[in-house]
Amino acid sequence: MVRQRGVRLRADRRGAGVTDLLHSETAAHVVDDLFDRIDALDRPEIFVDLRPREDVRRDHAASIAAGGPLAGRILVVKNNVDVAGLPTTAACPGFGRIAATDAPAVAALTSAGAVVLGTTNLDQFATGLVGTRSPHGAVRDSRRPEFISGGSSSGSAVAVALGVADIAIGTDTAGSGRIPAALQGIVGIKPTIGVVSTEGVVPACASYDCVTILARDVATADAAMAAMAAAGGPRPFPADLPLAAPAVPVVAVPADLPAMDGAWRDAFQDAIARCRDLGWTVREIPIDHFLAAAALLYDGALVAERYDAVGEYVDEALSDHRVGALDSTVATIISAAGRFSAVDLLADRRRVTELRTAAMAHVEGCDAMVVPTAPFHPSIAEVAADPVATNARMGTYTNFCNLFDLAAIAVPADPSTTVTVAQRSSASPCWPRHTTTRSSSTSPGGSSATTRRPPAGPRRWPRRSISPSSAHTCAASRWTTS
C-alpha cells in the first residue's frame, strides 16, 4: 500500500535529524515517533509517497540488527529515482510506473543500512531550480514558508532540513542538488558525471545528470556518498589521482559577481576574507567563460536532451489536453526543446568544449575555486511573477559545473554566506567532486565547495576533512569548483 502524506515540523525541531532526536529510543519507537511527527505536520508538498509504517518499522529493525555505516538512518528519495514498490513519476501523475527494483544508487544506500521512508516532490521532470514547478504544490522553505525551497531536489532538501530524514537522494544537472542544499542550510554533494550509476533515474539531460546526496552535516553526507559510490557508474578513477590538497592551497575566486544580491555579495566577500585568514592564497580570475557555458544549458541546443527524455510524453499530453498533470512552465521548456537539430546540438557541444578549455586555463595552478552557490533567495511570489528569468538567475553559478565535468560539495561555511570551493588538477577530469552551500533564514547566502575525490579501494570515497565552521576548507581531498 502506498500513502500520500504531508509534512510540517515544529520550529524547535528544525535541524535535528531523526537519529539524533531519537537516539535513546528503541528501533520501533523511532519509526512510530517519526510517523507521529509526520502526521502532525502541515507540509503536504514535501512527499509524493510514503511507505507503510509497518514496512519502515520492519526495515529499520533489520537495519539496526545488521549494522552498517548507515544503520538506522532514515532516507528519502527524489521521485525521479526508482524505489521498489513505489511509483516513479518525476512529479508528473500519469507519466510514471511502479518501480520493480531499487535504482542502484538507492540499493547501495540501503545495503549500507539506510531505511527508505518514501519519495519526495521535485520540480517536474527535474526541470527547475526553484522547487515550485510541481502539481503536488510548491515546496516551501523550511524556515520562511513564503520563500522557495530551491530545486529541483526540493522535497529532499526540506525533508532533511526539517529533520524528517537523515539523508536524501537528489539529482543534479544544473544545480538541482546544490541550490536547495544552499537555501536550506544543509550539505549537498554532487559527484563527477558517471561516477555513480544513473540507472533507474528518469533522465533530464542524460549526458549531464548526476545522483546526489543531501544531509544535515558533512560527516553524514560523507558516509552516505561513500556508500552510494558503490553503485558505480561507467567511469573509472585514474590511477594517478592526488589524494589531498596542499597544506596551503591556492584558490581561484571570481573577479566579478554578476547577478548577486548586494547583501549576498558582501557575505561572499566575507567568506573570501576568511579564506585569506586561513592562510590560503586567493587569486581573482575572470569568469566570463564559466557564465557563457552556464547560459548554454537552457538557452542553447543542449536542452534538446530534455525533449529526448520526455518530450514525446509532454507533446502527447498537450495535444490530448491532459494539461492538468503538467506544470505549464516545464511543459513549455521541454516541448520547445524539440525544435533543435542534431547540427545545433553538435555546435553547442563543441562550444562547451571551447569554453571549458578557456575557463580551465584561468584556474591552472589553483587547487580550488570558490564561487557563490546561489545569488539570492527569491520568494514564491517573485518566482510566480517571472518563473523563467528567476530560475535562470538561480543557476548563474551552478549551471556550468556538469558542463565542465566538475564535482561539487555544498557545505555550511557560515550562517550568512554561500560560496563554492572547488579543486582542480592536471589529472583526468573524471574524478568525483562535491559542492557545498549554506544559508540562514534571514541572512544572505551560504557557501559551497566542489571537490574531486578518489576511492579508497574500488569505488570507495576516501575520508575528507571539511570544516562546517565559519570557513569552508578542503584539506583532505581533491577539489574542483562550480
Q: Write the pLDDT tens digit of every residue in 80-120.
A: 999 999 999 999 998 989 999 999 999 999 999 999 999 99
197/102 Cα distance (integer angstroms): 12
Cis-peptide into 152, omega within 30 deg: yes
pLDDT tens for 33-43 read 999 888 888 89
Helix (H) or strand (E) holding 210: strand 210-215
Residue type, 140: R
Which residue has better confidence, 406 or 8?
A: 406
C-alpha cell at 391: 530560475
Q: Say if residue 21's pLDDT is above 60.
A: no
**What confidence tens digit (pLDDT) does each residue in 146-191 have?**
999 999 999 999 999 999 999 999 999 999 999 999 999 999 999 9
Q: How confident is the model at residue 334 (pLDDT cuts 50, 70, 90)?
A: very high
What band does 20 get if pLDDT is binned at 50, 70 and 90? Answer: low
**Is a pLDDT exceeding 70 seen at residue 419?**
no
- Specify whether the CB–CB gap between 419 and 317 falls below 8 A: no
- Please give the residue that has the higher pLDDT: either 410 or 313: 313
* Of 80, 70, 74, 48, nearest in space to 171 by CA: 80
Q: Which pLDDT belongs to residue 8?
A: 30
Residue closest to 164 by CA, chosen among 67, 24, 30? 30
* Burial class (CB within 10 angstroms; exposed 0-12, middle 13-18, buried 19+) of 338: middle
* Beta-bridge partners for 118: 50, 76
3-state helix, strand, coil in the chain (%, to 5): 35, 15, 50
d(CA 201, CA 317): 21
Nearest to 444 by CA among 416, 414, 463: 416
Residue 448's beta-bridge partner residues? 410
CB 397, CB 446: distance < 8 Å? no
Pick from 240, 254, 192, 181: nearest CA to 215: 181
Q: What span, in angstroms and rounded, lies between the C-alpha atoms of 368 and 87?
A: 40
Q: How many residues does the chain have?
A: 482
pLDDT at 433 over 70: no
Q: Catalytic positions, please? A: 78, 152, 176
Cβ atoms of 127 and 298 closer than 8 Å? no
pLDDT tens profile 251-287:
999 999 999 999 889 988 988 999 999 999 999 999 9
Half-sphere exposure (Cβ direction) of 224: Cα atoms closer than 13 Å: 33
- Three-class secondary structure of residue 209 per DSSP: coil
How much of the chain exceeds pLDDT 90, in percent? 66
Residue 406, phi-psi category: left (phi > 0), alpha (psi -120 to 50), beta (remainder):
beta
447 neighbors 336 (Cβ within 8 angstroms): no
| C-alpha to C-alpha distance for 465 and 462, rounded to whole angstroms | 10
Q: Which amino acid is at 412?
A: P
- Rounded mean pLDDT of the chain? 82
- Nearest alpha-carbon partner for 170 in 186, 151, 153, 147: 153
Complete DSSP assignment for 22-50: TTTS-HHHHHHHHHHHHHT---TTSEEEE
> pLDDT band at residue 418, thresholds of 50, 70 and 90?
very low
**What distances in angstroms separate CA 410 from CA 31, 181, 422, 442, one per listed residue?**
29, 7, 10, 19
Supply the pLDDT for residue 26. 67
Quick one: CA dihedral 188, 191, 194, 197, positive or negative? negative
Is the pLDDT confidence value at 132 over 70?
yes
Lowest mean pLDDT segment, chosen from 359-363, 385-389, 447-451: 447-451
How would residue 242 be classed by pLDDT, with cut points 50, 70 and 90? low
Of residues 202 and 467, more confidently modeled: 202
Average pLDDT over residues 368-392: 93
Arithmetic mean of pLDDT, 25-33 = 79
- Give the residue-averaged pLDDT of 50-65: 95
H or E element, residue 118 = strand 115-120
| Contact residues for 474 (Cβ-Cβ < 8 A; gap 6+) | 245, 249, 367, 368, 421, 423, 449, 451, 464, 466
| pLDDT band, very low/low/confident/very high, at 372 (cuts 50, 70, 90) | confident
User: Strand pairing partners for 172?
Assistant: 210
> Which segment of 18-22, 64-68, 407-411 scores lowest on mean pLDDT?
18-22
HSE (CB half, 13 Å, CA atoms) of 263? Answer: 10
Look up cell 541550490; give the residue.
179
What's the farthest any 2 CA atoms get from each other in the chain? 62
Burial class (CB in 10 A: 0-12, 13-18, 19+), 67: exposed
Mean per-residue pLDDT, 44-54:
96
